[in-house]
Copies of this chain bind each other. A is one copy, B any other.
Amino acid sequence: MSVTAPLGFRAAGVAAGIKQGGARDLAVVVNDGPSRAAAGVFTANRVKAAPVLWSQQVLAGGRVRAVVLNSGGANACTGPEGFQDTHATAEKAAGLLLDSAGEIAVCSTGLIGERLPMEELLNGVETAAGQLSRDGGLAAADAIRTTDTVSKISFRRGEGYMVGGMAKGAGMLAPAMATMLCVITTDADLTSDELDAVLRGATATTFDRLDADGCMSTNDTVLLLASGASGVKPDLAEFEEKVTEVCADLARQLLVDAEGASKAIAIEVVGAASERDAVTVGRAVARSNLLKCAIHGEDPNWGRVLAAVGTTDAAFEPDRLNVAINNIWICRAGAVGDDRSKVDMRPRDVTITVDLSAGAASATVHTTDLTADYVHENSAYSS
């Protein structure tokens, strides 16, 4: 279903020869309207890839006719020539669609610091444009994979409209394991301002709370495109709920497929004085390499949780902290609690609950364990 689940969208995914080995590496998603309203959120990294700089300009206009996405190269840190390559990609797609390059967004993912093979890429755009179809969503989702072992797609049905999406990578905006790219589509009819507000709300509580390895990509991009083809102007609260569900579903798929991970760890912070405090604490715990190693070793090492909490400026008293791992409160009042041997660490899903005893706010941050496979994958693969 993916991005072509809603009416008004066509897509294609082809092997353009950007990647070695003949796998799909180029996708095009086209919005046939009648509306072209769109919104985007981009990496907070100050070192932004050429396609991010380009697409930010496009999205400033609030309208997107098509998105060209490639794997096999990030086109980041490639200087003015790299920006010209992105521009040429948009012009190519615009020519094929008889439209304006200013409404063509571009996304890239792969190795930083190398120019893209432009001849292959531009030929690929032409091939993809010739294969655009209402059921091209799966091929498009396949073409944007890098180290992803499976495609990530999702959809939800609203009152008279659909929301569909595809994604690759793991992490986002603040954090990122590898670049995350995500395109979400809908046939509901909304303005770009409405889409922008919905997308910011949805990503803040989903992708933004995914922190696989604390690294932030130069290329992260999430786009939300509305064709208006259903003719339905949705209830905004319901629409945001559907978009958030699609984002949460995709985020979950990214986490499960994170590079080298053997555990999916949910860090629930409760009893916080503010949501900001809860997220801060959750992120600090999610970034503790020592803790992530312990969880990999199925060791319910709550001392490492407290050590991470202690690095933050959140409101708490050390002797009022409680920590549960998989619902066993092994730390109470900042000291030893229930018997750690009661904690069953065998399931893939691990929940760490941190009670700050400082208020009523809460938030959950998701991460993975740190494994020898992660080290192997990221030391052997130049990305």
| A310 vs B53: C-alpha distance when bound (angstroms) | 14
CB nearest to A380 among chain B residues:
B297
Q: How far is the CA of A372 from the CA of B82 in the complex (A)?
A: 35
CA distance A129 to B78 in the complex (A): 65
Contact A336 B290, CB 8 Å, known A112-B303, A379-B297? no
Inter-chain contact B113/A294, CB cutoff 8 Å: no
Partner-binding segment picked from A24-32, A212-220, A226-234: A212-220
Contacting residues, chain B, for A331 (C-beta < 8 A):
77, 113
Q: Which chain B residue lies CB-closest to A370? A: B375
CB within 8 Å of B: which of A177-198? Answer: 177
Given contacts A290-B215, A333-B79, A336-B77, contact A47 B382 (CB under 8 A): no
Chain B residues with CB below 8 A from A334, complex form: 47, 77, 79
CA distance A310 to B47 in the complex (A): 5
Rounded to whole Å, the gap between the CB of A206 and the closest CB of chain B is: 21
- Whether A319 sits at the interface, judged by CB under 8 Å, is yes
User: In the assembled complex, which residues on chain B have CB atoms less than 8 Å from the CB atom of A297?
Assistant: 378-380
- From DSSP, what is the main secondary structure of chain A's interface residues? loop
Are A321 and B290 interface neighbours, CB within 8 A?
A: no
Question: Does A299 reach chain B (CB closer than 8 Å)?
Answer: yes
Is A45 an interface residue when CB atoms closer than 8 A count as contact?
Answer: yes
Contact B335 A113 (CB under 8 A): yes
Bound complex: CA A48 to CA B334 (Å): 10
The interface of chain A, by Cβ under 8 A from chain B, is 44-48, 74, 76-79, 81-82, 111-115, 177, 213-218, 287-290, 293-294, 296-297, 299, 301-304, 306-312, 316, 318-319, 321, 331, 333-336, 370-372, 374-380, 382-383
User: Which residue of the partner chain B has the closest CB to A217?
Assistant: B307
Asked if residues B77 and A289 are in contact (CB atoms below 8 Å), the reply is no
Query: By CB atoms of chain B within 10 A, which of A114, A290, A307, A308 has the most?
Result: A307
B214 in contact with A289 (CB, 8 Å): yes
Which of B76, B114, B294 interacts with A378 by CB under 8 Å?
Answer: B294
- Neighbouring B residues of A111 by C-beta, 8 Å: 303
- List 25 contacting pairs A-B, 8 Å CB cutoff, sorted by A: A44-B311, A45-B311, A46-B312, A47-B306, A47-B318, A47-B334, A77-B302, A77-B334, A79-B334, A111-B303, A113-B303, A113-B336, A215-B304, A216-B307, A216-B310, A216-B311, A218-B306, A289-B374, A289-B378, A293-B374, A293-B378, A296-B379, A301-B383, A370-B375, A374-B375
Contacts of A115 in B (CB 8 A): 336
B114–A336 touching, CB < 8 Å? yes
Query: Chain B residue with minimal CB distance to A81?
Result: B335
Add 6 more A-B contacts to A177-B290, A293-B379 (CB < 8 A): A47-B309, A79-B335, A215-B308, A218-B306, A218-B307, A296-B375
User: How long is the Cα–Cα vector from A218 to B288 in the complex, in angstroms?
Assistant: 14
Residues of B within 8 A of A336 (CB): 77-79, 113-115
B289 touches A215 (CB 8 A): yes
Report A49 CB to chain B, min CB distance, Å. Answer: 10
Residues on the B chain within 8 Å of A312, using CB: 46
